[in-house]
Amino acid sequence: MTRRVSTSPLAPRRSPLLTVLMALFLIYTLVPLVWLILSATKTQADLFSSPGLWVGDHFAFFSNVHDTLTYRDGIFLRWLANTLLYVVVGAGGATLLATAAGYGLAKYRFPGRRAVFAVILGAVAVPGTALAVPTFLMFSNMGLTNTVWAIIIPSLISPFGLYLMWVYAADAVPDELLEAARIDGAGEIRIFFTVVLRLLAPGIVTVLLFAVVSTWNNYFLPLIMLSEPKLYPLTVGLTQWSGQATGANAQPVYNLVVTGSLLTIAPLVIAFILLQRFWQSGLSAGSVKQ
């Protein structure tokens, strides 16, 4: 088939009306983010007294960042380090496991392959959070709760990543190349690390990016697994700060919650913008061929 270069062969005239309608959509998407950026520049008093989509009386962005990073002996930085640990080990491991398994399923016709397929597909239909409580009880019996492993181990599985790599590897890795490498005497594992990984790179970037998002954004799992604030990732920590605003000993730190939220989303948003060529091509990976 011919890959479509232009979006449509008829090359219709551009429509200002459609563009305006979509711009409304764009505004809906951007308003919360603009609100967040503006709010991160305000003092707590200004948050209450100034309009949501306008600046406050004082420009407090830098003092907010300073306060966020130093509040309670710099616990925010600790949460950031935890999040990075969970992301690097969890998402990195998930990508490696999914890549290897996807490649194995695509390129080897081993006994039990169909059973593997059926089990994974069946288990994916079970809602992840339905598993959370039993997983907690099981990990609790194994003494894993309230350790970093309680977060890392469940993060290692990405069925979506497995599927993507399976589809991707089937076409991206030519069988002839594997045969040639085998004739040269290379072992299977060596072939995987020296030949296959390079061919799968665009798919791997996509799987990694989505695994990073899901571990960075993970909330439910750490919420139930961890009771020690020092192990929290950013998401759970921020909700704890937010929860401080209500209750008997209320100590609202709205400006810190807002600034912390901005600091939490910035790395991912920047990563998605910078890496857009990779994930957009990776996502439609299977779509090029017929």
Partner 1 sequence: MAVKGGGTVSQGVTQLESRGETRGGARSPAPGRRWSRSDTKGWIFVGPFLAVFALTFLAPIGYAAYLSLFRAQAFFGTTEFVGLDNYVDVFTDDKFWDGSLRVLLFFVVQVPIMLGLALVAALAIDSARLYASSFFRLVIFLPYAVPGVVAVLMWGFMYGTNFGLAADLNDLFGTSIAPLSKNWMLASIANIVTWEFVGYNMLIFYSALRTVPDDIYEAAALDGAGAMRTVLSIKIPALRGAILIATIFSIIGTFQLFNEPNILRTLEPNVITTYYTPNLYAYNLSFGGQQYNYSATVAIVMGLLTAVIAYAVQLRGTREAMK
CA 234 to each of CA 23, 127, 219, 286: distance values in angstroms, whole numbers, following the listed order = 32, 24, 9, 35
Q: Which is nearer to partner 1, 73 or 115 (CB)?
A: 115
Q: Which is nearer to partner 1, 9 or 62 (CB)?
A: 9
Q: Which is nearer to partner 1, 55 or 133 (CB)?
A: 133
Both tokens of residue 140? 């609790």
How many Cα neighbours within 13 Å face the side chain of 87? Answer: 21
Q: Which is nearer to partner 1, 64 or 261 (CB)?
A: 261
| Alpha helix positions (H), the chain | 16-39, 44-49, 61-85, 92-107, 113-124, 128-141, 149-155, 159-172, 175-183, 188-191, 197-199, 201-216, 220-225, 234-243, 254-274, 276-283
Min CB(134)–partner 1 separation in Å: 4
Which residue reads 């130093």 in tokens?
A: 70
For residues 107 and 173, the answer to whether their CB atoms sit within 8 Å is: yes
Q: Which is nearer to partner 1, 85 or 268 (CB)?
A: 268
Min CB(152)–partner 1 separation in Å: 10
| DSSP H or E segment with residue 54 | none
CA distance 204 to 161: 9
Helix (H, G, I), strand (E, B) or coil at 90: helix
Q: Is 54 exposed, middle or buried (0-12, 13-18, 19+ CB in 10 A)?
A: exposed
DSSP-derived secondary structure letter, 271: H
Min CB(148)–partner 1 separation in Å: 15
Q: Which is nearer to partner 1, 106 or 199 (CB)?
A: 106
Both tokens of residue 206? 């996509």
Min CB(204)–partner 1 separation in Å: 14
Min CB(191)–partner 1 separation in Å: 10
CA distance 164 to 157: 13
Min CB(86)–partner 1 separation in Å: 13
Min CB(264)–partner 1 separation in Å: 6
Q: Which is nearer to partner 1, 175 or 184 (CB)?
A: 175
Both tokens of residue 101? 């398994």
Q: Which is nearer to partner 1, 33 or 201 (CB)?
A: 33
CA distance 263 to 237: 13
Min CB(142)–partner 1 separation in Å: 10
Helix (H, G, I), strand (E, B) or coil at 15: coil
